A and B are shown apart, each in its own frame.
Chain A
């Protein structure tokens, strides 16, 4: 375990965000994960994204399941409420919390075991509800916390460190998200923070369910030669379909006409997508699916913002819930009173 202390102090001259907070205000307690674990890099990206978006820490809520990955909610945003729940059930608890108060920023952190093995059902159904949350899978192809068994995302024929061969095909959360109607789907790599931070920020701004599958190597159990989830493999096989650019770029040789498309977010602001392939259209679900499939057949990991639909209603909008949070809604407007009770009982006589 790494006990390298992350200093929680503000350095002079360090950047402040719009709230006047420095990035350290978005950090958490010290990580207890293995040195070099991909999950720690995602933690750092989370810290950065919340800082850059100037989200008041106490208006964010972190929810996770169980696993090394799920532990990381303690390692960022220590000034936010957090809830480290039970294995595979984070989506339902997030649903309840968001049902009670839809005004907060919900970020769920899960692992590939937590989401795709034990939690596959809840994962599918939280997508269907289009819960307004950011859902990050820290995907390493194994159960880290129980010492390296294959998870449901392990590649077909992948080998454990001990040489055991995985007999089953993997479940790809991106393809699942596409099939189930997720309204924001991205994939990234923990080794590329510059790629990941803008995706997290876009996911937080998305009104609805934002899924980011982050390949996050487990250095202790799944970073060896025969692994399809190692740093080496990921670096070599990343294929970016549509990169996120935060500010509108000038049209140059790097950014020719048509290669960059704006996407208008729910709040009216734009994000910009740089497409690698001019044919790629992140608003076309079927084509996104095919694109991911084709590249997977070549052993590539397709990354970037793969699909986005800002028009789908989230859970509260679909329900037509009142604007004010239900958890503090005035009781007087919830209780119909004695006269109404007497009236209701007429039909029971």
Chain B
């Protein structure tokens, strides 16, 4: 009993269904219901690279402590997919619950004595209540929402309000959906002792927060940054970013009377083309961006190199997925860290931003355009599927109306009138950033942009000194970039800890949970989350200040660790990798285990 008490607002519900059966709305209804009850939630969607008929899971963690990662365990499994039944049952933690559709007999062989099995005739109830075949399938989903509501004590008023909101456009559908929910609810109440020991209770920990996915937030960032040109080629998991940009612009950037659009989206024929469009638009002075994933980044290489060398602003969102090659398109990973940082042939290095959650996707989208124009270079926002496509609870997005974009060193016609001559690649200010002009400007500002060797005056060259001169000035610019990019997030442990964890992007939630759990055992570790490349001085300092640093990232080859070795003066031996790359979002367990082992080893030595 006391153990169960301890699980109030702290457990995981996982729903196993078949994709294309409309379970997504039922699942997001559940997620929102917890959120509206004031309980922090984590939602993860595990979906197949397929449109209909393949297994799919939705996992909801209610977490009164407000952890941002998945827990790695399942306490209540709603097993709606016979095909994955065996696997789903295996996943339930001891003491957990299995909820299954008892319309059909359960396979006895799969029984587990350490879990509680609850059968609800979901299909039967839906079939009896509804005539249409498609409606029956949808309502079966709503019925499990109702059953769960009874079993774990979800506030039915919250559910009703959500249903009314969900179907505000089609109010005729409200009664049927409520009916299905009540069928499940009443059946559970009549046949099971409700609520279960695992249950929820209203809290007040979600006020001032929203549930949003990173791609939607990034799209809003693009709108607010004043991006006007988007070019893309559809690829999971980046597609929803441009889709969201399009729908926000349709509402917020379209003249209501004339239908005129203050934006242009080019759905290009491939990623070479979308990169070219962004480069052309950036050269001509529009804020332009592309959305893609690993395979697209591979294709964009040559143009990214042109933008680097000819110094053209570009913003590229890479929503990483599992590679190499086609890999697992609907699973998450951080395996493009190096290809983004060093994309293209020749000596190139690119500014990268690493958002850890949707709120940062919004902020970093805005920052990316400022940095790209200030530095006149490609900027990658290196997000991933977990951040990009899952709904995260984050503080409200805010906007300062006095905020104006930094358009960088662009000479206006008035500026050009005043000067005697303009030279495109001259470092006038000592920050390595030259001035540029836009096509169509005053005749004095005209120049010829090229990827071929050029000197600081902007002329073509094949002279070694002149070529090298520009390449070295680009290093000055790189040093300037390190002072402009977002600083890392640092959490110092209570004591001046000798060890640190260094993480990137969506590892953040798992790392912070690990830090708490380790602290509970008296193991205090400092934390740094790198938010950008080039590494700022703080990164160098953190590495220098610790005897040992655990580098947490989601790829096989320790790409971030490789960059730290390459780009800072850290001794390689100081860095221990914690690598998670199975395609699932990261949880704290591997980090905790690795560090516990290291502590034990140290004690034994």
A interacts with B:
yes
- Give me the interface of A with B, judged by CB distance under 8 Å: 57-59, 61, 63, 73-74, 78-86, 89, 91-101, 103-104, 121-122, 124-125, 129, 315-316, 319-323, 326-329, 331, 333-338, 340-342, 344-345, 348-349
In the complex, how many angstroms separate the beta carbon of A280 from the nearest chain B beta carbon?
33
* Residue interface mask B265-282, A partner, CB < 8 A = 1: 110111011111111111
* In the assembled complex, B26 has its CB within 8 A of some CB on chain A: no
Closest residue to A336 on the B side, CB-wise? B252
- Which residues from B are CB-within-8-Å of A57? 443, 446
Give complex CA distance A12, B281 in Å: 41
Q: List 25 A-B contacts (CB under 8 A).
A: A63-B280, A81-B447, A82-B447, A84-B448, A85-B276, A92-B268, A93-B279, A93-B280, A95-B231, A99-B280, A100-B281, A101-B285, A103-B440, A124-B269, A316-B264, A322-B255, A323-B260, A327-B286, A329-B262, A334-B226, A334-B228, A335-B226, A336-B252, A341-B399, A349-B210
Partner of A93, one of B276, B396, B446: B276
> By the criterion CB–CB under 8 Å, are B270 and A341 in contact?
no
> By the criterion CB–CB under 8 Å, are A122 and B226 in contact?
no
> By the criterion CB–CB under 8 Å, are B284 and A327 in contact?
yes
Give complex CA distance A103, B284 in Å: 11
Give complex CA distance A36, B22 in Å: 69
User: Which of B382-390, B449-457, B560-568 participates in binding chain A?
Assistant: B449-457
Chain A binding site: helix, strand, loop or mixed by DSSP? helix
- Which residues from B are CB-within-8-Å of A337? 399, 401
Which residues of chain B from 211 to 237 have any CB-CB distance to chain A below 8 Å in the complex?
A: 211-212, 216, 220, 223-224, 226, 228-229, 231
* In the assembled complex, B306 has its CB within 8 A of some CB on chain A: yes
- Which residues from A are CB-within-8-Å of B229? 96, 99-100, 326
* In the assembled complex, B256 has its CB within 8 A of some CB on chain A: no
Which residues of chain B from 387 to 420 have any CB-CB distance to chain A below 8 Å in the complex?
A: 396-401, 404-405
> By the criterion CB–CB under 8 Å, are A85 and B306 in contact?
yes
> By the criterion CB–CB under 8 Å, are B264 and A335 in contact?
no
Partner of B446, one of A58, A92, A344: A58
Give complex CA distance A344, B212 in Å: 11
- Which residues from B are CB-within-8-Å of A58? 440-443, 446
> By the criterion CB–CB under 8 Å, are A94 and B262 in contact?
no
> By the criterion CB–CB under 8 Å, are B440 and A81 in contact?
yes
Closest residue to B448 on the A side, CB-wise? A82
- Whether A61 contacts B439 in the complex (CB less than 8 A), given A84-B450, A86-B303, comes out as yes
Closest residue to B314 on the A side, CB-wise? A96
Give complex CA distance A79, B444 in Å: 8
> By the criterion CB–CB under 8 Å, are A80 and B224 in contact?
no
> By the criterion CB–CB under 8 Å, are B261 and A89 in contact?
no
* Residue interface mask B284-308, A partner, CB < 8 A = 1: 1110100000000000001100100
Closest residue to A333 on the B side, CB-wise? B262
- Which residues from A are CB-within-8-Å of B276? 85, 89, 91-93, 95-96, 122
In the complex, how many angstroms separate the beta carbon of A312 from the nearest chain B beta carbon?
18
* In the assembled complex, B187 has its CB within 8 A of some CB on chain A: no
Closest residue to B403 on the A side, CB-wise? A335
> By the criterion CB–CB under 8 Å, are B273 and A122 in contact?
yes
* In the assembled complex, B35 has its CB within 8 A of some CB on chain A: yes
Give complex CA distance A81, B395 in Å: 45
Partner of B223, one of A97, A322, A336: A336
Give complex CA distance A344, B397 in Å: 10
- Whether A326 contacts B439 in the complex (CB less than 8 A), given A79-B446, A84-B449, A338-B399, comes out as no
Further pairs besides A89-B272, A316-B264: 8, Cβ < 8 Å: A83-B450, A93-B276, A96-B283, A97-B439, A99-B277, A326-B286, A335-B224, A349-B32
* In the assembled complex, B259 has its CB within 8 A of some CB on chain A: yes
- Which residues from A are CB-within-8-Å of B263? 321, 326
> By the criterion CB–CB under 8 Å, are A125 and B286 in contact?
no
Closest residue to B275 on the A side, CB-wise? A92
* In the assembled complex, B36 has its CB within 8 A of some CB on chain A: yes
* Residue interface mask B176-201, A partner, CB < 8 A = 1: 00000000000000000000000000
Closest residue to B217 on the A side, CB-wise? A348
Give complex CA distance A86, B449 in Å: 11
> By the criterion CB–CB under 8 Å, are B440 and A96 in contact?
no
In the complex, how many angstroms separate the beta carbon of A122 from the nearest chain B beta carbon?
6
- Which residues from B are CB-within-8-Å of A98? 280, 284
Give complex CA distance A310, B396 in Å: 50
Give complex CA distance A327, B263 in Å: 10
- 5 cross-chain pairs, A with B, having the tightest CB-CB distances, nearest first: A96-B280, A92-B276, A100-B286, A100-B284, A96-B281
- Whether A92 contacts B280 in the complex (CB less than 8 A), given A326-B286, A334-B228, A335-B226, comes out as yes
In the complex, how many angstroms separate the beta carbon of B455 from the nearest chain A beta carbon?
14
Closest residue to B443 on the A side, CB-wise? A58
> By the criterion CB–CB under 8 Å, are A59 and B253 in contact?
no
- Which residues from B are CB-within-8-Å of A78? 446, 448
Most buried by A among B280, B286, B303: B280
Give complex CA distance A71, B289 in Å: 28
- Which residues from B are CB-within-8-Å of A334? 223, 226, 228, 253, 262
- Whether A96 contacts B399 in the complex (CB less than 8 A), given A121-B270, A122-B269, A335-B224, comes out as no
> By the criterion CB–CB under 8 Å, are A81 and B280 in contact?
no
- Which residues from A are CB-within-8-Å of B54? none
Closest residue to A73 on the B side, CB-wise? B448
* In the assembled complex, B339 has its CB within 8 A of some CB on chain A: no
* In the assembled complex, B438 has its CB within 8 A of some CB on chain A: yes
Give complex CA distance A95, B229 in Å: 10
- Whether A341 contacts B398 in the complex (CB less than 8 A), given A321-B264, A327-B228, comes out as yes
> By the criterion CB–CB under 8 Å, are A101 and B284 in contact?
yes
Closest residue to B229 on the A side, CB-wise? A99
Closest residue to B210 on the A side, CB-wise? A348
- Which residues from B are CB-within-8-Å of A338? 398-401
- Whether A92 contacts B285 in the complex (CB less than 8 A), given A125-B268, A337-B399, comes out as no
- Which residues from A are CB-within-8-Å of B231? 92, 95-96
Give complex CA distance A321, B255 in Å: 10
Closest residue to A92 on the B side, CB-wise? B276
- Which residues from A are CB-within-8-Å of B450? 82-84
- Which residues from A are CB-within-8-Å of B404? 331
Partner of A81, one of B262, B272, B398, B446: B446
In the complex, how many angstroms separate the beta carbon of B378 from the nearest chain A beta carbon?
13
> By the criterion CB–CB under 8 Å, are A125 and B226 in contact?
no
In the complex, how many angstroms separate the beta carbon of A125 from the nearest chain B beta carbon?
4
Give complex CA distance A95, B275 in Å: 11
In the complex, how many angstroms separate the beta carbon of B187 from the nearest chain A beta carbon?
30
In the complex, how many angstroms separate the beta carbon of A155 from the nearest chain B beta carbon?
28
> By the criterion CB–CB under 8 Å, are A101 and B264 in contact?
no
Closest residue to A129 on the B side, CB-wise? B266
> By the criterion CB–CB under 8 Å, are A97 and B446 in contact?
no
> By the criterion CB–CB under 8 Å, are B280 and A329 in contact?
no
Give complex CA distance A331, B263 in Å: 12
Closest residue to B305 on the A side, CB-wise? A86
> By the criterion CB–CB under 8 Å, are A348 and B211 in contact?
yes
> By the criterion CB–CB under 8 Å, are B35 and A99 in contact?
no
Closest residue to B459 on the A side, CB-wise? A29
Closest residue to B255 on the A side, CB-wise? A322
Give complex CA distance A161, B282 in Å: 43
Give complex CA distance A146, B265 in Å: 36
Give complex CA distance A316, B281 in Å: 14
- Which residues from B are CB-within-8-Å of A327? 228, 281, 284-286, 438
In the complex, how many angstroms separate the beta carbon of A135 from the nearest chain B beta carbon?
14
Partner of B451, one of A85, A96, A323, A326: A85
Partner of B285, one of A100, A315, A335: A100
In the complex, how many angstroms separate the beta carbon of A318 from the nearest chain B beta carbon?
10
> By the criterion CB–CB under 8 Å, are A341 and B449 in contact?
no
In the complex, how many angstroms separate the beta carbon of A70 from the nearest chain B beta carbon?
10
In the complex, how many angstroms separate the beta carbon of A329 from the nearest chain B beta carbon?
6
Give complex CA distance A250, B231 in Å: 50
Give complex CA distance A185, B236 in Å: 38
> By the criterion CB–CB under 8 Å, are B449 and A92 in contact?
no
Give complex CA distance A94, B277 in Å: 7
> By the criterion CB–CB under 8 Å, are B270 and A326 in contact?
no
Closest residue to B391 on the A side, CB-wise? A348
> By the criterion CB–CB under 8 Å, are B399 and A320 in contact?
no
